[in-house]
Amino acid sequence: MHATLMNQDLTLPRRTTALSLAFLATATLLVASAHAQTPVYLDPTQPLDTRVDDLLGRLTLAEKISLVHADSKFTTAAIPRLGLPRRWLSDGPHGVREDVGPDTWNPAGHTDDFSTAMPAGICLASTWNPDLGYSEGQAIGQEARKRGKDIMLGPGVNILRTPLCGRNFEYLGEDPLLSGTMAAGYVRGAQSQDIASCVKHFALNNQEYQRGSINVEVDERVLREIYLPAFHTVVTSGGVWAVMGAYNQFRGQHCCHNDYLLNTILKGEWGFRGLVMSDWSGVHDTRQAVLNGLDLEMGTDRKYDDFYLANPYLTGLQSGVYPMAGLDDKVRRNLRVLIATHVLDPDRPSGSLNTAAHQTIARRVAEEGIVLLKNENHALPLDLRTIKTIALIGENATRLHAHGGDSSGIKAFYEVDPLDGIVKRAGTRVNVIYSEGYRKGGDAALADRAVAAARAADVVIYLGGLNHDKGFDCEGADRTDMKLPCGQDKLIQQITAANPHTIVVLEGTMVEMGAWLDQVPALLQAWYPGMEGGNALARVLFGDVNPSGKLPATFPKQLSDTPAFAFGPSAYPGVNGTVTYAEGLLVGYRWYDAKNIAPQFPFGFGLSYTTFAYTHFKLVPTADGVTAQFDLQNTGPVAGAEVAQLYVQPEKPGVPRPLRELKGFQKVYLSPGETRTLTIPLTRSAFAYYSPDQKSWVAEQGAYKLLVGGSSRDLPLSAEYQLTETTQVK
């Protein structure tokens, strides 16, 4: 796996594609005729950095400059003389985005730029299944190859700090361990296909409001413990080849050229050897871009030659203002990614699009990511043998989402909406009546018709929630509240009054539910489930699939309960251009636990059609820590999967710490009655906090409770563990 190449200089295997063969042929003709043998940089048997150095030595100054900035919206220039093709970048992260014109955001109008639309990132995170993350990444990598892309812009791992952030749907939730683990799996899968992933947006891009300018102030410990670990995991264990800087500023400097984030932490402390690219139009200054760790400038709103890292950089290099060694480092990083992803080698995989396997992965991510939040008296699964009429109500039953949300939108090969999926699964014996119920600008007549449909049906399936309209789950703006739009609260009340057998299915991210939650027997959170979403949902509703998703973020009862809200506008959305993360470490469940606020649904929560029992907890000491061992039994009547979660709770910490934090998890599939003994190993780092004074992670001696269970608020197993000495850990 190429992830292992990150910090090593290994020999790369031979690969071929038609495209790279063409380039290889050109390069071989041009270069080999002069040297009479394969040049080192084209020789796949040579170590990576030997090839990089050889190629670097052949480039002119102008060619080097051409590699550190864009020459269209999503490409950098080719160097035909040496057989270097144009590099193609693409969004990301839910599939391969449709092509836009070379110099515009408008679609290129191609007919061959469809791709498989995977569920949104937050749905992938809800699976708590890193192997599925790998499969999704791998499928996207295959589609990227088929579409001729080299660098895929994803995954996004910004922490969910406020429910209002317009891009929460793209990210992986509120917990650094869960986000990092899921993203690392995805990256390993994608990069196994000889494309580079680009993790984004580094860092602290936790709101869309004023995203291009907002300055984030956060203290060092919080930065290290909450906002950076997911990136660190993706860099170190995921081996990601590219990192995208964020739009916002951090401590007064834009993140795309933030010396501390890029030079000191990412490249210095973490030893990142890949390339840092800007977000599109995220660069603001040549000097900072040159000196502060940026390697590739994308999307600036100027002519390509006038990009900060184009002519202005060239002029500075020529006049001696900037050192040549700095340019060589940037170019080396770009070439390292190019060569490591086998762009110049014979048998790079050619990829595949929209295969049955990709469709299955899209469906499985949705099936495992849909979360069952409520299920009174076994309201679900629905039994088709006893149902004659289903009223399917709500705009989201027919609304397509895959193309929405802005840069993460996908031109899907097809999209099975909930209506399609339910009608197909219900078959001809059951009468499905659809009623829209609500819509932007809709009127009372819409609601009246829906209520009448509800009254006439055996069961109602309500499909509501949010969508990708600007101001909801969409890039470029935040929500202004957490309410269900378009009068849905009232509509659900009216529907449940007409027919109490109402199953609510919400798409989108979290909303307030207090107005109706008590009245409905069952609730599913379906996020944005991708192009197979309707099928996945139907399979969950009718019991072909036993739900196993768990919330990757707390669902608060109301916006006023949330941490960023509690400290007023200076903590969110910011005052005078600065937002101060006053809640500190208390993000997500860490906040609700510390403040004793009952969430609507806690982090890690999700029901199943079966039940699980946790027993026989034992701690087994290891060389570098301890392993939690316990039995998990499926005590119910159907097969199902459970996510066992392990939290560490310091008993008397010497510094303020969150009550408890997720430090390990494992998802297991169990047949009815089956028991499995699970082990979750913890190293000393699982006990550590970041000490800004010592500039290091410190595992403090003392007692820790280890708690295991099925959500952050349901932890039936607990045992005490003693760390006997205080140590610094990596």
Burial 472-493 (b: 16+ CB within 10 A, else e): bbbbebbbeebebbbbbbebbe
Relative to beta strand 661-670, strand 253-254 is: unpaired
Residue 74 CB, nearest approach to ligand BGC (Å)? 7
Cβ proximity to ligand BGC, 209 vs 280, nearer residue: 280
Cβ proximity to ligand BGC, 96 vs 372, nearer residue: 96
Residue 243 CB, nearest approach to ligand BGC (Å)? 12
Residue 411 CB, nearest approach to ligand BGC (Å)? 14
Residue of 27, 42, 125, 153 interacting with ligand BGC (CB under 6 A): 153
Residue 505 CB, nearest approach to ligand BGC (Å)? 28
Tokens for 142, please give them. 């295959």
Cβ proximity to ligand BGC, 145 vs 211, nearer residue: 211
Count of residues interacting with ligand BGC (CB under 6 A) = 7
Hey, which residues between 389 and 448 contact ligand BGC (CB under 6 A)?
407
Residue of 279, 473, 532, 593 interacting with ligand BGC (CB under 6 A): 279
Distance CA 657, CA 661 (A): 9
Residue 212 CB, nearest approach to ligand BGC (Å)? 9
Task: Please count the residues of the chain.
Answer: 730
Distance CA 297, CA 295 (A): 7
Question: Which x/- pattern, by CB under 6 A, does the window 182-211 give for ligand BGC?
Answer: ------------------x-----------
Tokens for 30, please give them. 């041009």
Distance CA 135, CA 146 (A): 17
Tokens for 662, please give them. 């997720």
Residue 572 CB, nearest approach to ligand BGC (Å)? 19
Side chain identity at 661, as an amino acid letter? E
Tokens for 267, please give them. 């490249």
Cβ proximity to ligand BGC, 281 vs 493, nearer residue: 281
Q: Which residue has 């709101």 as its token pair?
A: 207
Question: Which x/- pattern, by CB under 6 A, does the window 675-694 give for ligand BGC?
Answer: --------------------
Hey, which residues between 95 and 124 contact ligand BGC (CB under 6 A)?
none
CA angle 426, 432, 436 (to 5 degrees): 130
| Strand ranges across the sheet with 253-254 | 253-254, 249-250, 215-217, 578-580
Q: Which of 279, 345, 473, 593 is catalytic?
A: 279
Cβ proximity to ligand BGC, 148 vs 702, nearer residue: 148
Cβ proximity to ligand BGC, 153 vs 182, nearer residue: 153
Secondary structure E strands in 294-379: 371-375
Cβ proximity to ligand BGC, 200 vs 254, nearer residue: 200
Residue 92 CB, nearest approach to ligand BGC (Å)? 6
Residue 561 binds to ligand BGC (criterion: CB under 6 A): no
Distance CA 603, CA 174 (A): 9
What lies within 8 Å, CB to CB, of 576 at 6+ separation is none
Distance CA 388, CA 520 (A): 20
Residue 91 binds to ligand BGC (criterion: CB under 6 A): yes
Residue 133 CB, nearest approach to ligand BGC (Å)? 19
Q: From 257, 228, 258, select the one nearest 158 (Cα to Cα).
A: 228
> Exposed/middle/buried for 389, CB within 10 Å: 0-12, 13-18, 19+?
middle
Rounded to 5 degrees, what are φ and ψ at 31? -90, -45
* Residue 670 host element (H or E): strand 661-670
Cβ proximity to ligand BGC, 279 vs 593, nearer residue: 279
8-state DSSP, 273: -
Q: Is 452 left (phi over 0), alpha (psi -120 to 50) or beta?
A: alpha
Contact indicator for 670, 639 with CB cutoff of 8 Å: yes
Residue 281 CB, nearest approach to ligand BGC (Å)? 8
Residue 279 CB, nearest approach to ligand BGC (Å)? 5
Distance CA 224, CA 221 (A): 5
Relative to beta strand 696-699, strand 625-634 is: unpaired
Cβ proximity to ligand BGC, 197 vs 712, nearer residue: 197
Distance CA 164, CA 571 (A): 13
Residue 468 binds to ligand BGC (criterion: CB under 6 A): no
Cβ proximity to ligand BGC, 405 vs 549, nearer residue: 405
**What is the helix, strand, coil percentage profile of the chain, to 5?**
30, 25, 45
Cβ proximity to ligand BGC, 148 vs 476, nearer residue: 476
Residue 394 CB, nearest approach to ligand BGC (Å)? 30
417 is annotated as an active-site residue:
no
Residue 19 CB, nearest approach to ligand BGC (Å)? 23
Q: Is 625 left (phi over 0), alpha (psi -120 to 50) or beta?
A: left
Q: From 493, 659, 574, 633, select the one nearest 162 (Cα to Cα).
A: 574
Residue 280 binds to ligand BGC (criterion: CB under 6 A): yes
Cβ proximity to ligand BGC, 231 vs 605, nearer residue: 231
8-state DSSP, 14: P
Residue 300 binds to ligand BGC (criterion: CB under 6 A): no
Residue 492 CB, nearest approach to ligand BGC (Å)? 34
Cβ proximity to ligand BGC, 280 vs 697, nearer residue: 280
Q: What crossing angle do the helices spanning 418-426 and 533-541 adopt, rounded to 10°?
A: 50
Q: From 139, 206, 151, select the one nearest 357 (Cα to Cα).
A: 139
- Cα 621 to chain centroid distance, Å, stands at 34
Side chain identity at 382, as an amino acid letter? L
Rounded to 5 degrees, what are φ and ψ at 237? -85, -25
User: Could you give the C-alpha distances from 267 to 276, 327, 604, 606, 672, in angstroms and in order?
Assistant: 9, 15, 33, 38, 49
What lies within 8 Å, CB to CB, of 493 at 6+ separation is 515, 516, 519
8-state DSSP, 543: T
Distance CA 604, CA 169 (A): 17
Residues near ligand BGC (CB under 6 A): 91-92, 153, 200, 279-280, 407
Catalytic residue numbers, as ranges: 279
